[in-house]
Amino acid sequence: MSSLIDDPRVIEFDVRTDEMLVNMGPQHPSTHGVLRLALRTDGEIISEVTPHMGYLHRCAEKIGENLTPRQWIPYTDRMDYLAAMNMNLGWALTTEKLLKYEPPEKARHLRVIICELGRIASHLVGMGTYGIDLGSFSPFLYAFREREKILDLFEEACGARLTYSYITPGGATADLPVGWTQKCLEFLDQFEPVIAEYHTLLTTNAIFIKRTANIGVMSPEMAIDFGTSGPVLRGSGISHDLRRDGEEIYTAMYDGYAFEVIAQQNGHYPKDHNYPPVPKEAVLGDCWHRFYVRMLEVMQSIDLARQGIERYHAATDGYGEPLKLKTKLPKGEVYLETECPKGQMGFYLVSDGSDIPWRTRARSSSFSNLSVCEPLCRGCLIADIPAIIGSLDIVMGEIDR
């Protein structure tokens, strides 16, 4: 019997697949806002990812050149609207740096309390939505249940639940209400044991580990080269946190506070808290580690908020009333970065001597963190895109501005 190869009826041909361009977004639940990702795929394999932004652009920086620094505070709320208190602080400190103004001691500790609560609230949203990205809905409900309690505290302090305009140049718009710190301590005491539930739902969940461990691995060199910051940078083992390593006007807020930067050093994370071990499948710099850093920072922020409340009550001076800024701003330019929940958020202010800035500029942490998605996604499966993008925890209001 002759071979089929010798059969003249058999036609040899080369089977190939064409590359396909797939749009993910701009309205896709895993893009965390109005972001379009143009995916070039060969079958299920990603060969190129191109982010397309600008759908949420609102000319915030140009508006800042037509308002006084205090009037621009509400526009900072709408940048990272999941951590508006931290946005307020960055612009307030930048203005105070130009004015060479130092807020009272009590205002310093008030700001620490509020901003660490804001960090917890932001990470809870990041944790909950990350579960949804990977097909688990329950963590979202758990996270928002506790986040609502933080928003209740914020509402009692300033009357708002999302965009606050609370921290302003000079201090804050009002002192904390009577009994507020006791309610805050009660929340922290109730909330701390609940974190173990989050670790059960996601951190140690076998399916979650399978979806995130050894996926989207970012080396320390890549993290630095692309200008990443915050948990994205620290998830690659880089011990850098502006609360410790930033400018003095910002680090002075945390003078006397005991905390360690959450980053894996020599194969270990800080041992201050009881938390689950790193699974053997995880590789430093992968999606799992970026998620884990945020979970540990929640524990850290609880501790910092407690320290802040203790110091707040020990301070005897005022909370720092908002500066009226009736006089003209001094001539000059200043730039300051603060450690926001998603990374290093910077504000740039140039004054020509009038009461309105000549130039305002914002440096977005999420913008730099998003820039690394192309090399991270190259070579992965389409199904891994939500895991990688979600691990960066971006917010489009801050990117587009």
Specify the pairing of strand 167-168 against strand 45-52.
unpaired
- The mean pLDDT of 82-99, rounded to a whole number, is 94
Task: Report the candidate in 320, 274, 50 with the shortest Cα–Cα distance to residue 174.
Answer: 320
Query: Cα separation of 401 and 389, whole Å?
Result: 20
**Can you say how many angstroms the Cα of residue 65 is from the centroid of all Cα atoms in its chain?**
26
Location of structure tokens 């809870």: 124
Least Cα distance to 249 among 89, 73, 93, 69 occurs for 93
181-194 per-position pLDDT tens digit: 999 999 999 999 99
| 99-154 per-position pLDDT tens digit | 998 888 999 999 999 999 999 999 999 999 999 989 888 999 999 999 999 999 99
Q: Give the residue from 161, 106, 57, 154 showing the smallest Cα distance to 311.
A: 106
What is the domain partition of the chain in residue ranges?
60-400
Fold adopted by 60-400: Cytochrome-c3 Hydrogenase; chain B (1.10.645)
pLDDT in tens, 300-324: 999 999 999 999 998 877 766 666 5
The answer on pLDDT for 5 being more than 60 is no
**For 368-389, what is the mean pLDDT?**
91
Is 195 exposed, middle or buried, given 0-12, 13-18 or 19+ CB atoms closer than 10 A?
buried
The sign of the CA dihedral 24, 30, 36, 38 is negative
- 360 has pLDDT over 80: yes
Q: What is the pTM of this model?
A: 0.91
